[in-house]
Structure 1
């Protein structure tokens, strides 16, 4: 069932406070506006993923270090990007990358991209998250499934990305029943190709399905050649004003 609460007779609302999760902008040199907007007063951001070069890179990047520092000073969580490749990456490689993120950028947690969904892969993900939590103490871990995983994954991540994909599919999507056992702040939805005229509808779907962290954009991913998350949506100010306390002009 969706995460709903009744207020007055004949009305239904979610009672859900939403905020933004940033899957990962382009490099700060390429997207300075995008990184700068995240520290703008009144911008409701739960966290932002720092992806230097498919991970932390081979040496500290001064531009990424500056961007991460500004976010931290503004009270925004910075998450290091770890590509688990559906469970295929060696454990040691991932932990080595995690150490570099912590040593170089002082991240507040990790985003496990391409996280598997099946039950058989759960023990390895549990092993990874247990190791990361020992390093973070405390920290925030987001499992980037992109679809509803086996329910046991919910015990290993602070948040789960249960949808990542195009608006054409999201508008007809259905929530897994087991998610109703958890509060909305446990779930994230990333949707690209959302036209401005459908933004309110997309927000209603997210609330109905119980997603507390979202990222909606009118950008498109084209055949894997274009990353729709790299830049701001064309309706940035509108989406910030709809879910946050307002935008400072």
Structure 2
């Protein structure tokens, strides 16, 4: 199963990156569309055209600010992604991991599905309360550098779910470590793993040179 690619870069300054995404086709499981920590304030024709050229599912990025954004604002972002970019699902980012947030995110997921999202993904960046797996189609349970990823051990509850439920985002992965990190992913019960050699404040601002080598 291919990676879920966080495409946090615009096609205008990065047309070659988007061509590579389009050419990758089924080697990619999905692409996360992120205009400005969400769909932006108005439709972006260049981004819509780039998204339409992809031959894989597209998920619209929606920041939930660890539960601090109001449900109306979150629902508005979902609606804009669906209307402006015709996404097939939603990537809820900054999702808290604790059980006290289950009811809030149950409602957000239900609203996204009501609006027409076929796929709902929660990105926690860590393993959350196990019951989150009952609310979303996919969970992002790791985001960090390769050196830390190589120590990751999934909790026992995760293995009671299909590996396809879990997605990992791994940065600072040089080409020389690619095979080692990928081998670890096979033991870490991950259905989708995206690797990049980039780092810094936004390691998702472009594609790594080894993309679309299977992840």
* 1:188 is aligned to 2:167: yes
* 1:56 is aligned to 2:39: yes
1:170 corresponds to which residue? 149
Residues matched between the structures, number:
215
1 CA distance for matches of 2:142 and 2:174? 18
Q: 1:92-111, CA deviations, whole angstroms, 9 ceiling, x for partnerless residues?
A: 00101111111111110000
Q: By how many angstroms is 1:36 displaced?
A: 1.1
The DSSP-based 3-state class of the residue aligned with 1:23 is strand
Q: 1:16-72, CA deviations, whole angstroms, 9 ceiling, x for partnerless residues?
A: xx311012231111221221112215651111111112211111101111011111x
2:66 corresponds to which residue? 86
1 CA distance for matches of 2:39 and 2:174? 33
Structure 1 consecutive aligned stretches of length 4 or more whose deviation exceeds 4 Å: none
| Structure 2, unaligned runs of 5 or more | none
Could you say which structure has the greater relative contact order, defined with CA pairs below 8 angstroms and 6 or more residues apart? 1
Matches within 5 A, 1:126-205: 126-136=106-116, 139-205=118-184
1:28 corresponds to which residue? 11
Q: 1:224-248, CA deviations, whole angstroms, 9 ceiling, x for partnerless residues?
A: xx311111112225x23xx5xxxxx
1 CA distance for matches of 2:24 and 2:16? 14
* 1:230 is aligned to 2:205: yes
Give me the TM-score of the superposition, normalised by structure 1.
0.83
The DSSP-based 3-state class of the residue aligned with 2:22 is coil
Q: In the alignment, is the contact (CA less than 8 A) between 1:192 and 1:217 conserved in 2? A: yes
RMSD of aligned C-alpha atoms?
A: 1.3
Q: Which has the larger radius of gyration?
A: 1
Give me the TM-score of the superposition, normalised by structure 2.
0.96
